[in-house]
Amino acid sequence: MEWANMMGRSAASCDADLTRRIRQGDAGAFRVLMQRHNQRLFRMARGVLRDPADAEDAVQDAYVLAFTRIDQFRESSSLATWLGRIVLNEALRRLRQRRTMTGLDEEDTGGTTPGAQVIPFPGAQQAPTTPEEDASRAEVRRLLERAIDALPEPFRVVFTLREIEQMSVEETASCLGIPQDTVKTRLHRARRLLGHSLRRQLSPDLAGVFPFAGERCARIVAHVLKRLGLPDPPPDAG
């Protein structure tokens, strides 16, 4: 499998090879690119938009933009960072648009504010456990996800990249276009807002929040290739 063959190579080597092949219109290479970066990019968009469906749409739009502008990638930064910037810009654009529409809706209704809603999250696939353990872990994730969603946007995005995606301070600063000290400050504020006691109790479950199911990954790949008019090669095609 092409995916398996690339796993043993360095990220820089894989990115350089994928970039070259994508510039040649290789749909298989673009498929591999999306499979490699889907989860991280989805979580980035999810951290901004707080809605799985909207985040999925943002990632698809960002991929289309990246494919059509692949010649603009100059390799001064990593391909992952370049893609991250495109996804974050698209997510922030959607967020601004959403706020504009919300403002218009509020004017139409006399300025009333709709009640808060709990955003549903898909369940993560876990190893076999007892029903009691399943219920407990699901509740822990729900509590943590709600707490993250309640963070102000600048802190929520930094927390998502640093704590959930485990990106370095340097990577996070590069993706967001902010100083590294700002990343550190926002992460500190995010942790404080979440509450030290909550964070200590729930930190082992951070890897399980905002799960990215295989079905969503496959759907994004198929939709983007279709929008670009590219063939969708079978997963094992090299």
Q: What is the pLDDT of residues 84-125, one digit of tens each?
A: 999 999 999 998 888 776 655 554 544 433 333 333 333 334
Q: Does residue 202 carry a pLDDT above 80?
A: no
Let me know if residue 117 belongs to a domain. Answer: no
Q: Classify residue 30: in a domain, yes or no.
A: yes
Q: Is the pLDDT of residue 57 over 90?
A: yes
135 lies in a domain? yes
Residue 139: inside a domain: yes
State the pTM of this model: 0.67
Residue 17 lies in a domain: yes
CATH, residue 141? 1.10.1740.10
For residue 27, being part of any structural domain is answered with yes
125 part of a folded domain: no
pLDDT at residue number 115? 35
Residue 22 domain boundaries: 2-103+131-227
Count of domains for the chain: 1
CA distance 178 to 201: 30
> Quick check: 142 pLDDT over 70?
yes
